[in-house]
Structure 1
């Protein structure tokens, strides 16, 4: 069968003209060491300096990834006039302090990539966005699931209209994430740390919802006090689209369910259907995400492209690339802090829905 459609799904991010911009890396844990720096090495970015709470860890990362400068503190790194971009990979409740210091002391810094969530509250995130904007620094958030290969392909198919009008989107996650120590004091766990990927993906695919409903229960495996262990949330859009995610971090007793973990997604439209999976739960095995779709343009045919790239770590080049492109072009980053406020408003809507046992409108939040 001859396919009358373009099979370029745009999964490869646009790269900056200048890949030599000097990146100052703050943090040397798993996300920086095994994801950011691995991805940067693949595409030829320039991690120039690194700092961490533990200098020995920073030195080990520098040796592994060929970084020439190691600092005792992030404050010293921020002050280095050679640093052009800050790449932050520390707990998000500490990020506003770094952004504040960069804006106050470092006129040489052109851009900042922060982790998601940008902050642990919408108010703190607003402050971070304002600080960066007032200082003329491009602020971006590492919403890396937008650069997962199956999400890029799905967005391309939706934008081209091959599924017609979207009707229903679902994500089902059965996985056991690691909860970082800093989360223990906030009682906010799943939505702010893992669910935020799916929440941001819904916004990437369909835009801002009109209203949100969320239910949650405690996760029996998570021993510290928390609001949201296992969650289910539904986004309703003005055009009728429903997008719902079930985030199950229990999956069953440890040892009994370890071989049945996954993230699967599905989007149904008036003219077609797409479905796929995210390869992350099988990390560190290199497991590409999957993607398949059918459309009335190719009756009774499923189109199933494949690729060698994976979400962790390959997709982490995309968020840095789009920040560099924005710096070069003098434009707002695609993953801007300002855009991320809208994702955080959706997270806050979920928590408000849980607390008040009601559906929450997106326009209840002042953005």
Structure 2
């Protein structure tokens, strides 16, 4: 191969705060906190000092496993601990309202990393953002797919212009999520709890869509009532770009048939093309996501940068790091609550499209 004129530094690593000893209080002791958040925080040198859970025994077990000094029987006790500076919430979205409402009353709380989705809908999310803004508390939302290494790399090559103007972007998911029991009471399933990863990532890469259109059906595997099991959606941009997600949570008929589980993505531009895979479906086997791209800027070659890091758990250091950086600098978080409102508005537009069987403009939600 001739000498490369393409910069293969993909900027996959998040920027770290100067101060890594902010005292973090963790609310939640399930898988995502115990085996993802806290593992990534240890690797990054962050400082979780307290934990609480709906089940105190779980909080105690995680504290012992991860070396956390303080265990509280209820989240309200943790929030009131004056040593806690940062809240890391891994609770169901319908329960985040009460937590955040109490947290903003505490002068010692400087920042909150909320779980996604931030709330059940756009109006509720907006109230939480306004509440934090009024209290001067930095609010970020854990949209962690933005920190998947292939998405960081894709954002880098888009920003460098290697692909030119984007024409078509797709994410194709054929994977079976573990639906938590609390989801059965929501009436909203895949779009709010899984597609939100992909829709937010499209916003990270390309900005806000002008319109959305959705088709969905029930998932035969999911026994509780829902409308959006298998979800197909198109985000339509004013410049002509179309970004499409195929979120197939059925994916496998079951025993007696072979599996073909994956998440693939692709972006086609006027001057190049990129495609890749997401490693998450292989968890707990560490499987890095990938990117391959080709560009007119150096014709006749597929560039294939690689790395050893993975989305789960490594990317979660990035979601906490950006909040800590915002707190120490007094700036807006990268994945701020304010920015996330437009992701929540897009989700609400998707549900309106599904219910009314039509294309919905984002401004119908934002200006309501």
Q: TM-score range by the shorter chain?
A: over 0.9
**CA-to-partner distance for each residue in 1:93-133, whole Å, 9 max, x for gaps?**
100110000112x1100000000000011111111111111
Q: Is the 8 A contact 2:85 2:110 kept in 1?
A: yes
Q: What is the distance in 1 between the residues matched to 2:239 and 2:145?
A: 25
Shift of 1:257: 5.4
TM-score (norm 2): 0.98
Deviation of 1:168 (Å): 0.2
| CA apart distance, 1:256 | 4.6
- Once the two structures are overlaid, the 10-residue window that deviates more, 50-59 or 272-281, is 50-59
Mean Cα displacement is larger for which, 148-157 or 186-195?
186-195
Task: Tell me, yes or no, if structure 1 residue 304 matches structure 2 residue 290.
Answer: no
Which residue of structure 2 aligns with residue 85 of structure 1? Answer: 86
CA contact (8 A) 1:251 1:257 kept: no
Question: Helix, strand or coil: the match of 1:246?
Answer: strand
Instruction: State how far apart, in whole Å, the 2-side matches of 1:40 and 1:254 are.
Output: 36
CA contact (8 A) 2:166 2:269 kept: yes
Consecutive unaligned residues of structure 1, counting only runs of 5 or more, are: none
If the length of structure 1 is used for normalisation, what is the TM-score?
0.98
Matched residue, 1:131: 131
Task: State how far apart, in whole Å, the 2-side matches of 1:92 and 1:322 are.
Answer: 21
Deviation at 1:259, TM superposition (A): 2.9
How far apart in 2 are the matches of 1:45 and 1:234?
Answer: 39
* 1:166 matched residue in structure 2: 166
Residue deviations 1:63-92, cap 9 Å, x none? 111111111110000000000000000111
| Correspondence for 1:43 | 44
Quote the Cα distance in structure 1 between the aligned partners of 2:332 and 2:290: 31
Does residue 207 (structure 1) correspond to residue 207 (structure 2)? The answer is: yes
Q: Counterpart of 2:226?
A: 226
Q: Deviation digits for residues 113-164 of structure 1, max 9, x if unmatched? A: 0000000111111111111111100000000000000000000000000000
Instruction: Give the match for residue 183 of structure 1.
Output: 183
> Does the CA contact (< 8 Å) of 1:176 and 1:250 recur in 2?
yes
In 2: Cα distance, 1:136 partner to 1:80 partner: 19
Q: Distance in 1 between matches of 2:138 and 2:255?
A: 45
Distance (whole Å) between structure 1 residues aligned to residue 251 and residue 18 of structure 2: 45
Query: Which residue number corresponds to residue 64 of structure 1?
Result: 65
Quote the offset at 1:20 in angstroms.
Answer: 0.2
Report whether the alignment pairs 1:328 with 2:328: yes
Residues 278-301 of structure 1: per-residue CA shift (max 9 Å, x gap):
000111100000111000111110
Q: Residue 258 and residue 60 in structure 1: after superposition, are their counterparts in 2 closer, same or farther (change >3 A)?
A: farther
Corresponding residue of 1:268: 268
Distance 1:196 1:82, change over 3 A: same
Cα distance in 2, alignment partners of residues 257 and 132 from structure 1: 50
CA distance in 1, matches of 2:138, 2:23: 15
The separation in 2 between residues aligned to 1:293 and 1:132, in whole angstroms, is 41
SS at match of 2:104: helix
The question of whether the paired residues in 2 share the 8 Å contact of 1:95 and 1:118 is answered with yes
**Aligned pair count?**
366
Shift of 1:255: 2.4
Partners of 1:208 and 1:83 in 2: how far apart?
35
Aligned to 1:246: 246
Distance in 2 (CA, whole Å) between partners of 1:12 and 1:100 is 33
> Residue 178 of structure 1 aligns to a residue in which SS?
coil
**Offset of 1:254 from its aligned partner?**
1.7
SS at match of 2:150: helix
Displacement, 1:252? 3.0
Question: What is the CA–CA distance in structure 2 between the aligned matches of 1:131 and 1:95, rounded to whole Å?
Answer: 13
Decide whether the 8 Å contact of 2:252 with 2:259 is kept in 1. Answer: no
1:263 positional shift: 0.4
User: Superposition pairs for residues 67-146 of structure 1, below 5 Å?
Assistant: 67-104=68-105, 106-146=106-146
Match of 1:281 in 2: 281
Q: Which runs of 5+ in 2 are unaligned?
A: none
Matched, 1:29 2:63: no
CA contact (8 A) 1:170 1:245 kept: yes
